[in-house]
Amino acid sequence: MGFTFIHAADMHLDTPFEGIARVSPAVAAQLRDASLEAFDALVDCAIRNDAAFVLLAGDNYDGAERGVRAQLRMLRGLERLSARGIQTFIVNGNHDPPEGWSAVKSWPEGVKVFGHEAVESAAVEREGVRLATVHGISFSQRTAGENLAARFTRASAPGFHVGLLHCSAGVNTEHESCCPTTVRDLQAAGMNYWALGHIHKREFLCEGGPWIVYPGNLQGRSAKPSECGAKGAVVVEVDGGQVARVEFAPVDRVRFVVAPVDVSTLADLPELRRMLVRRLEQLRKEHEGRGLLVRAVLRGRGGVHRDLIRAGAAEALCEDLRGECKDMEPFVWWESIQDATRPNLDIEQVRKRGDFLSELVKVAERIGAGEEERAAFFREVCANLPAARLQGRIPEPDGGVEAEELERAVMLALDLLEEKTDS
């Protein structure tokens, strides 16, 4: 008998968004409700696909002190699933360990919350036929460093076997290590499918033998790479005891989008503004029906660079665009405009000129390979540039200066000095 199940993780219900300031009250209200509405959409997705069960792989809430609003919303969603005969299997993650406070004292029929003492197994049955067995264990602070996957073993029961776990598998530097394990350990447990949580970027660590999947979080919460783009769950179809199809189902209500913009052909700020408006039109079509938080990253060389290095230019442009978007529905909020452009200078030609600028290039190249030398040179360059020009463009040295930062400082110095020479 074939069946379908839904795998979701890292809902962080009713959690605040990170790094978002000064949004309008209307946008703030939509941000506050985004994670809850994404969960409602997940429930709709399960019902629409006639799922046999739903898997929630930890970090369902953002903290041990779970908000009442989040708990009640989750309870209502699970009640809807139960009423349709859809079972739900839940493990706790490092953000919502089992000892956290709960306003919900009992769960609807068909909801299984796995404990943290041992791996438990639960059956999924339809019409007297066992479709699958779900094995799970919740995260516990006591087992933060333990490889919990090593505790899983396939039972003798027939049908499809699923492992449900919140853990770190493989290498991901954006997230702290949590019950670390390896793909080899997961493969050794004999599962048909591993439903993992903790990593917010959608990842398929193994596609068959078994499937090992991170669905990512339901709703992006910042402009970090792992939080950007479409977010949701995976819909898994099983036929003949094997995974037949795995499909991503977007359920997010708000999206963070980082939009690279090449300014090489642009002459001035009005031209750049027109390009950003056109780019936004494309993004709205691409992400139809969702609120957008847009970060534009400006790259390339061209005439507009000279305008952008003026104090507050990028910020003023961003404010102007926000004003134009204030009545858009779904909402659009320009999160920031980041200037990573470069002056339109031929470094090779500058090196050959034999003037002060050529000496600056040569000195920078000589010290570019050493971290200590780079840090010293970086501080010297910054000390001799107008503070107004530096604001928001070059970070304060913190003991270690990357080669990219040195290049940025040198290019800014060259541009400013060249501008003085031209005038």
Give the tens place of pLDDT for each residue, 24-47: 788 888 888 999 999 999 999 999
Residue 142: pLDDT over 80: no
Which residue do the tokens 């600028």 mark? 357
For residue 341, the model assigns a pLDDT of 87
Supply the DSSP symbol for 121: E
Q: What percent of the chain has pLDDT over 90?
A: 50
261-315 pLDDT, tens digit each = 999 999 899 999 999 999 999 999 999 889 999 999 999 987 888 888 887 899 9
Q: Per-residue pLDDT averaged across 257-261, rounded? A: 94
Residue 373: pLDDT over 90: no
- Binned at pLDDT 50, 70 and 90, residue 231 comes out as very high
Supply the DSSP symbol for 402: -
Q: Are 217 and 11 in contact (CB under 8 A)?
A: yes
* pTM exceeding the 0.85 threshold for the entire prediction: no
Buried b (16+ CB within 10 A) or exposed e, 96-130: bbbeeeeeeeebbebbbbbebeebbbbebeeeeee
Q: Which amino acid is at 106?
A: S
- Binned at pLDDT 50, 70 and 90, residue 345 comes out as low
Strand order across the beta sheet in which 111-113 lies: 111-113, 87-91, 53-57, 3-8, 232-239, 242-250
- Binned at pLDDT 50, 70 and 90, residue 155 comes out as confident
Residue 128: pLDDT over 90: no
Domains in the chain (CATH in brackets) are: 3-252 (3.60.21.10), 253-344 (no CATH), 347-423 (no CATH)
Q: Are 231 and 11 in contact (CB under 8 A)?
A: no
Residue 65: pLDDT over 60: no
Highest mean pLDDT among 55-69, 234-248, 293-307, 404-418: 234-248
- Binned at pLDDT 50, 70 and 90, residue 399 comes out as very low
CA distance linking residue 9 with residue 165, whole number of Å: 10
Q: Of the ranges 4-18, 136-150, 284-298, which one carries the lowest mean pLDDT score?
A: 136-150
Averaged confidence pLDDT in the chain:
84
Q: Per-residue pLDDT averaged across 316-339, rounded? A: 92
Which residue do the tokens 């570019």 mark? 368
Which residue do the tokens 């898994």 mark? 236
72-115 pLDDT, tens digit each = 999 999 999 999 999 999 998 876 666 655 667 788 999 999 99
Residue 70: pLDDT over 60: yes
For residue 415, the model assigns a pLDDT of 66
